[in-house]
Amino acid sequence: MDECCTCTADPLLIFSCSGGSNVGQIANQAAVELTKKKWGKMFCLAGVGGHIESFIESSKGNRIVVIDGCLVLCAKKIFEHMDLPVSEHIIVTELDIKKNNNFDLDKKDIDRVCDEVKKRLG
Ligand code: SF4
């Protein structure tokens, strides 16, 4: 059986790369904050990347926001491989936030990513 953590299908799904760098974790935390503020619902990228049918089916037909930490674009590439359209794509390093391995995240950086998502969504 395909079990999901807290995700259920919602009209706006937010996926972050959640990578092992500051920008990956800023992407992750921005997705968490946007979910808490009800801009959308964070969904499991690993479920889609793992080709788990229920995750793929739940993603179809919904608006999808993808937040990647850097220009390697891991999250967006998963959607390309799955042939799932992405409505908005945000790249943290394109918001003048440098990639490093400092996991003491700055709330200002998380807010900057959240603001960019909100701006794109109008
Ligand atoms: S997009 Fe960048 S930060 Fe995110 S998982 Fe890939 S390499 Fe890591």
- Give per-residue pLDDT as tens, 65-93: 999 999 999 999 999 999 999 999 999 99
User: CA torsion sign, 87 to 70 to 56 to 13?
Assistant: negative
User: CA torsion sign, 26 to 114 to 59 to 7?
Assistant: positive
**Which pair of tokens denotes residue 65?**
């926001």
Out of 21, 29, 102, give the residue to mutate to test ligand 1, the one with the largest number of ligand atoms within 8 Å of its CB: 21
DSSP label of 77: H
* pTM above threshold 0.85: yes
- Give per-residue pLDDT as tens, 15-25: 999 999 999 99
**Nearest residue to 92 via CA among 80, 110, 75, 104:** 110
Is the beta carbon of 89 within 6 A of some atom in ligand 1?
no
